[in-house]
Structure 1
Amino acid sequence: MMSKGWTKNDIGDLTGKVVLVTGANSGLGYETCLALAEKNAIVVLAVRNLNKGLEAIDKIKAVVPEAKCHAMQLDMNDLSSIREFVHQFKARYNSLSILINNAGIMASSYQQTKDGFESQMGINYLGHFALTGLLLDLLIKTPNSRVVSVGSLIAHKIKPEFHNFKGSKRMKPIKYYGESKLACMLFAKELQYRFRLHNMETKSIVCHPGISQTKLFARGSNKLKRKLTRASVKFVGQGAETGAYPILYAATSPNIRGGEYIGPDGRGGSKGAPTELEIIDELYNEHVASNLWKISETLTGVTYKFKNEQKVL
């Protein structure tokens, strides 16, 4: 548990730490990058549109002139783009202190990724599974590194089925969104289990931002519906800056042990200061998470290679 009223001002100095944030040019991702840049981290903004990433850096530098920020192109919709990104990242950086798997979509209609996955499952979950696995060697060799995955309140009501990764026009998109976020949460918990199994000091944490006012809401809907959705979010939820606090706490707090689920402490979890949530233990099923992991390795072609794996009986 943490003290009431935690804010980004409680983040310690991050000089020398390389932080990678996906979906970094707007909303929660942007606010996360800004807060980390303010604390002297080297922040890599992984973005689908490089121009928007550069514009985000200009905004950050208007607030933090000495910010150490770099934009790199990454399309979570395409596994080949993820592999190319990792190749470029490793050519530029030899450490990775914090990986924040933030990028996500909430689709209003059925779509598939370039690899044939339902778009929300492919981008929100499978893409980040692949990215984390391909960066695993850097994370493991960086002292006290962390992987932060972003879940959702919606996932609390989803049954873990995970049998149709290609999707179907017959199923409501919100169902796939919930499944993709539940998959992120189970992945984060399973990753922490495997870090401990292999005596790794790297930590995996999952969080959710509550109900935050970002572009994720009402994407693709008509203008009136979009306005009404954002108005309702403003009433019951919180802005993107505060919505990023659970992410920032998970990424930086010295109190993190690994395996926690961090979210707002307000009524219904819609807003408030970051706190540890026990519901993750109800949502996590070891058998389901292990099977999901195996399927994910097969679908993405990315196999996790933990150091000292051959020594584990």
Structure 2
Amino acid sequence: MTMDAVTLPDLSGRTAVVTGANSGLGIETTRMLVGMGARVVMAVRDVDKGGRAAATVQGETEVRRLDLADLASVRAFAGEWEGDLHLLINNAGVMAIPESRTEDGFETQFGTNHLGHFALTNLLLEHVTGRVVTVSSSMHRMAQGIDFDNVDLVGRYTPYRAYCQSKLANLLFTLELQRRLVDAGSSVLATAAHPGYAATNLQSHSGSRFQNGLLALGNKVFAQSATAGALPTIYAATQDVPGAAYAGPKNMGRGAPALAGRSEAAWDSVAAHRLWTLSEQLTGVTFPLKPQTD
């Protein structure tokens, strides 16, 4: 199997988890991984929808419930895991929704897009043998930094401010996770990807019929397909890239996958460490691997 002359590996006998796998980028990522021979566990909030999506995939899949906006659900999913996990694809997310809270009281976009995946990754990490790939967004560039004193953006909330902060958090999480993996002497890689402008249902939950209509029009006129949008995730999951690599379409919004640039804020190792510490405090989940000793 090839992707614009990029050779993809045979993943027969390997297991992957894809969060948010019942639609959009998630189902396309699932199809590609299954096409490489992987067994894919589709981690979804609605198992009925997940089952219908799985029925469209020719290959080995399993649907399991996971609600990233509920840390009890995250713990239950991870607690039931047995055996090796080659790839953890942190794909699920919400975008530019009206202000709301998760089951644990966090702002929903930060809580779902970052904290849920932070907890899931650390709870599963001792099983991971290959890579952790976290899906961010080119819109992370619109965030100047993490509002550490007010990550829930109380009194400052706008849908896109919250979304951009959560996507910056995804990249800072990847940066700090890779640093910790290296310190622990682990061969696991942490990488990230963004889909460019891809047509999915992610843009249809703004709470505004007018805005949803504009976004739907944009999807039809400007966006690339969800299949094309999933290619950078596959690139970050399978190609020979360094730790903390970030993949995206060559032309930012569309095109073949390649290594992508990121904002200066997304390279801030001090902020990445601070975000990790805060995330541990908020979720009660810590990094499970021990640092190497000389």
TM-score bracket, normalised by the shorter chain, equals: over 0.9
The answer (yes or no) to whether the contact 1:205–1:261 under 8 Å persists in 2 is yes
Residue 161 in structure 1 maps to residue 146 in structure 2: yes
Alpha-carbon separation, structure 1, partners of 2:242 and 2:264: 15
Residue 85 in structure 1 maps to residue 77 in structure 2: yes
The answer (yes or no) to whether the contact 1:261–1:280 under 8 Å persists in 2 is no
Alpha-carbon separation, structure 1, partners of 2:17 and 2:3: 28
Q: 1:203 aligns with which of 180, 185, 189?
A: 189
Alpha-carbon separation, structure 2, partners of 1:44 and 1:86: 12
Q: State the Cα distance separating 1:19 from its structure 2 match.
A: 0.2
The match for 2:282 is 299
Structure 1 residues 147 and 217: CA distance shift in structure 2, 3 A: same
The match for 1:69 is 61
Q: Return 5+ residue gaps in structure 1 as ranges.
A: none
Alpha-carbon separation, structure 1, partners of 2:53 and 2:21: 8
The answer (yes or no) to whether the contact 2:10–2:36 under 8 Å persists in 1 is yes
Alpha-carbon separation, structure 1, partners of 2:14 and 2:100: 37
SS of equivalent to 2:78: helix
Q: State the Cα distance separating 1:282 from its structure 2 match.
A: 5.8
What do residues 19-77 of structure 1 show as CA deviations (whole Å, max 9, x unaligned)?
Answer: 000000000000000111111101000000000111011011xxx2xx11000000111
Alpha-carbon separation, structure 2, partners of 1:35 and 1:169: 42
Q: Return 5+ residue gaps in structure 2 as ranges.
A: none
* Paired residue type of 1:159: Q
- RMSD between aligned residues: 1.8
Structure 1 residues 169 and 107: CA distance shift in structure 2, 3 A: farther
Q: State the Cα distance separating 1:241 from its structure 2 match.
A: 0.3
The match for 2:32 is 35
1:160-199 alignment, distance < 5 Å: 160-163=145-148, 164-168=150-154, 170-199=156-185
What do residues 255-297 of structure 1 show as CA deviations (whole Å, max 9, x unaligned)?
Answer: 122211101011xx11111111233566211111111111101
The match for 2:132 is 147
Moved over 4 A (4+): none
Alpha-carbon separation, structure 2, partners of 1:173 and 1:190: 26
The match for 1:312 is 293
The answer (yes or no) to whether the contact 1:160–1:182 under 8 Å persists in 2 is yes
The answer (yes or no) to whether the contact 1:110–1:168 under 8 Å persists in 2 is no
* Paired residue type of 2:111: G
1:220-299 alignment, distance < 5 Å: 220-253=206-239, 255-266=240-251, 269-279=252-262, 283-299=266-282
The match for 2:105 is 116
What do residues 178-232 of structure 1 show as CA deviations (whole Å, max 9, x unaligned)?
Answer: 0001001110011111111222100000110001111111314444432321221
Count of residue correspondences: 292
* Paired residue type of 1:21: V
* Paired residue type of 2:279: S
In the superposition, the TM-score normalised over structure 2's length comes to 0.94
Alpha-carbon separation, structure 2, partners of 1:237 and 1:282: 26
The answer (yes or no) to whether the contact 1:6–1:273 under 8 Å persists in 2 is no
